[in-house]
A and B are shown apart, each in its own frame.
Chain A
Amino acid sequence: MSEGIDVGSPDEIEEGTAKVVEPEDSGFDEPIAVFRTESGCFFALNDTCTHEEASLAEGWIEGDTVECPLHSSSFNLRTGKVLCLPATVDARTHKVAVEEGRVVLYPGVDADDAARTAD
């Protein structure tokens, strides 16, 4: 599970949005959301909110948090820490890096809590 996966070029994920990598592409057992913050950093979390079935990639991304589109639980994109109810369980992080001009996701490898910028 430590093999990196090419998610695309950084420009393919607009700032303030996210791209979902499905299990068949990642080999990980859950969809993974790769977020690009407004400041250009990349982070990845399990896409499904830890509270109910909702895609965090469809949430509101601001600063280094994402707010779930269903019940507004917020998560820290760097650490996966849940910031408010109704979710009470942290989101799982995955390592993302920009390597040789590509966004590379390491499914199942914990993020090292360091921002990865596009440049």
Chain B
Amino acid sequence: MSSNLDAPRRIVILGGGVAAFSAASELRTRGYDGALTLLSPEGLPYDRPPLSKGYLLGTEDAAKIALVPEAWYAEHAVDVLAERAVALRPSEASVELGDGGLLSADRVLIATGARPRPLAVPGGELALTLRDRADADALRDALAPGARVVVVGAGLIGAEVTSAAVGFGAEVTLIDPIDPPLVPAVGEALARRLHAMHGQHGVRTIASIPVEISASDGGGARLLRLADGSAVAADAVVAGIGIVPDAALAAAAGIEVDDGVLVDASGATSNPTVFAAGDVSRLRRPDGTLTRRAEHWEAAVRSGQAAAAGMLGEPPPAFGAPWFWLDRYGVHVEAVGTLDGRFGGRVILREADGVPQAAFLLADDGHLLGAAAVDLPLLIRAARRIMDRGLTPDPAALADPSVPPRKLVP
């Protein structure tokens, strides 16, 4: 559909996350030499995974998590404005800024990301959340030795915050109705192993949900009442219960939105001059069905790159199986593809001394659908190549801890 449009000369990207940055970088790599502006309210783009890891722990500072050195932007003629767009005006080929000024744009990429899902219970606004650098700074202050910290949500963010809080010497309670979480992402065996690490590190885990948060006394302490009737006192409450795409600008501009800005594989929205990428976007397949929003770092990179191609009227690159990582209590976990066995396939475990190290999901025809592993990153690199090359691995070799990852890929 973009073939009817003139080649872009003024591209404005809304957002300063890795999707926005990846799109800008990819545009220049593809030879786009027109104007390129990032409207990044927080200034120069930075990497978010460290916000629940090294940055939260204080082992990495703001300079360390910058996506590229500042000089990169001048070298690549990318203007970064620490401003927020307040409206899209695609029919006027512009974007409206907070002061009412218009910035001309013949293509716009919405990469505004998402906001933490609010804890929708009375007093839920008392919970801290983690999305940006300021959130991480506030959270770090709350994770003091001996502080009673209650984390609601034991998914990726909640578990990493819990691990960090333990590292700071806080007394942590972790609440999630699902025990164990992350089964679709890493498979049941690894999900159990990972969730059990909380208890092994002195964290109290409760399988319930909060129904109310109140101030229990004048000292700033909170009291969480849970659905199971119990109550937990806390000096700080942190909610990591998912994200809500920041799609208001698209919706206000009449662009199709359904739990995310709907895009095709090249990032195109229902308006041919407006594209979306990253956490704010949601892929609509050619048959019209909607995928689950991918909320991982690599998915944001890829969608930014795809949208860059799309804005230039070029086909999106082919990407392989999706990948993500998590870190907690000093272990590094990676997964590729899916371990969600609800639609078939069989699980192959690789164990050492009875402890699951890796899980593979094999389709009935022998193809690999996904893999996850704890502290075995080369196994995941092998699995990724097996998937991307359409190979059918030997299940016995997958299960055998003495078979090195390189030997799995012919």
A residues with CB within 8 A of B: 16, 52, 58-60, 67, 69-72, 85-86, 88-89
Q: Which of B47, B60, B69, B323 is close to A72, meaning CB atoms less than 8 Å apart?
A: B323
The interface bits of chain B over 34-49 (1 if a CB of A lies within 8 angstroms of the residue's CB, else 0) are: 0000000000000101
B72 touches A85 (CB 8 A): no
Closest to B406 in A: A16
How far apart are the CA atoms of A51 and B377 in the complex, in Å? 16
Q: Mark B18-40, 1 if CB is under 8 A from A, else 0.
A: 10001000000000000000000
CB proximity to A under 8 Å, residues B368-410: 377-378, 381-382, 405-406
**Contact among B68, B69, B323, B377 with A69 in the assembled complex (CB-CB below 8 Å):** B377
Q: What separation, in Å, do the CA atoms of A58 and B378 have in the docked complex? A: 8
A7: shortest Cβ distance to chain B, in Å?
21
Partner of A70, one of B69, B377, B382, B406: B377
Cβ-Cβ contact count across A and B, 8 Å cutoff: 33
Across the interface, B54 reaches (CB within 8 A) one of A52, A58, A86, A88, namely: A52
Interface residues on chain B, size class: 20 to 34
Partner of B22, one of A52, A72, A85: A85
Selected from A60, A88, A89, the residue in CB contact (under 8 A) with B378 is A60
Query: Any chain A CB within 8 A of the CB of B211?
Result: no
Interface of B is mostly: helix
Do the beta carbons of B67 and A88 come within 8 Å of each other?
yes
Residue of A nearest to B301 (CB): A85
Residue of A nearest to B323 (CB): A72
Contacts of B67 in A (CB 8 A): 85-86, 88
Q: How far is the CB of B353 from chain A (nearest CB, A)?
A: 22
Q: Hey, which chain A residues are within 8 Å of B69, CB to CB?
A: 88-89
Q: Which 10 pairs across A and B sit closest by C-beta, in order of nearness?
A: A60-B381, A69-B377, A88-B68, A85-B301, A60-B378, A86-B47, A16-B406, A67-B381, A69-B378, A88-B67
- Find residues 39-66 in chain B having any chain A CB closer than 8 Å to their own CB: 47, 49, 54, 60
Nearest A residue to B60, CB-CB:
A52
Q: What chain A residues lie within 8 Å of B382 (beta carbons)?
A: 60
In angstroms, Cα B18 to Cα A63, docked, is: 28
CB-defined contacts of A70 to chain B, threshold 8 Å? 325, 332, 377
Mark B211-247 against chain A: 1 for CB-CB distance below 8 A, else 0: 0000000000000000000000000000000000000
CA distance A67 to B377 in the complex (A): 10
Rounded to whole Å, the gap between the CB of A95 and the closest CB of chain B is 26
Contacts of A69 in B (CB 8 A): 377-378, 381
Residues on the B chain within 8 Å of A16, using CB: 406
Within 8 A of A (CB), among B316-338: 323, 325, 332
Q: What chain A residues lie within 8 Å of B325 (beta carbons)?
A: 70-71
Q: Which residue of B lies closest to A58 (CB)?
A: B378
How many angstroms from the CA of A60 to the CA of B301 in the assembled complex? 21
Whether B18 contacts A85 by the Cβ 8 Å rule is yes
